[in-house]
Chain A
């Protein structure tokens, strides 16, 4: 079975500083990995996804993530934090070329931006 682990349930960074949210995965086969963002009382919005086409994935709002097989990691980064980035972030994994396969989510990381 596949799983993801998000290190750090809460991360605080200053506005303009680097954002780094960590995600490690466990999978018996090559996984498909996703980062989602959730604002309060809302559904999830896809930030980016890894589907084996390229190890460095660029997403919306200036976020990117790098798939590192040797480290089984898929960390999310953004060079300069903005106040609007404050939200909950979820890493997720699935095994199939997707659409009809369930997602397994990490426990989430709450990002706080300090003015």
Chain B
């Protein structure tokens, strides 16, 4: 099956800085990737759908100017948390959809802590 990696696996930053998280599809060219956020002891909430070569589609309530998504190639999508604040601290997980498998493959997640 598809293997999805994320980098970094964890990051600690100061309030006001920006953080970039990478999501790579290692063995499959993905036209669509998804970004989810998971707060402690809560479920995953879809933030946005990342489409290669076009603008991402954001879910209601997600600030597109704060969470910048760039799907630059068929194997790489990046999520940049701009001007991070402590309330942005969360577990960010990406996934790659494979239509022929009727399945999404998830990355291992990135834990962001904003001090």
Chain A residues with CB under 8 Å of chain B are: 32, 34, 36, 41-46, 49, 51, 90, 97-108
Contacts and interface: CB of A to CB of B under 8 A. Distances in A.
Interface of B is mostly: strand
Interface in B42-63: 42-46, 49
A43 B107 contact: yes
Nearest to B99: A99
A59 B93 CA distance: 23
Contact of A97 (B6, B34, B46, B102): B102
Interface residues of B, number: 27
Contact of B44 (A41, A100, A101, A105): A105
A99 B101 contact: yes
B46 to A, nearest CB: 5
B113 to A, nearest CB: 12
Contacts of B108: 42-43
A51 B102 contact: yes
A100 B45 CA distance: 16
Contact of A90 (B6, B43, B100, B101): B43
Contacts of B46: 102-104
17 contacts: A41-B109, A41-B111, A42-B108, A42-B109, A43-B93, A98-B97, A98-B99, A98-B104, A99-B99, A99-B102, A100-B31, A103-B34, A103-B104, A104-B46, A106-B43, A107-B42, A108-B42
B64 interface: no
Given A41-B111, A49-B103, A99 B43 contact: no
A23 to B, nearest CB: 12
Nearest to B59: A102
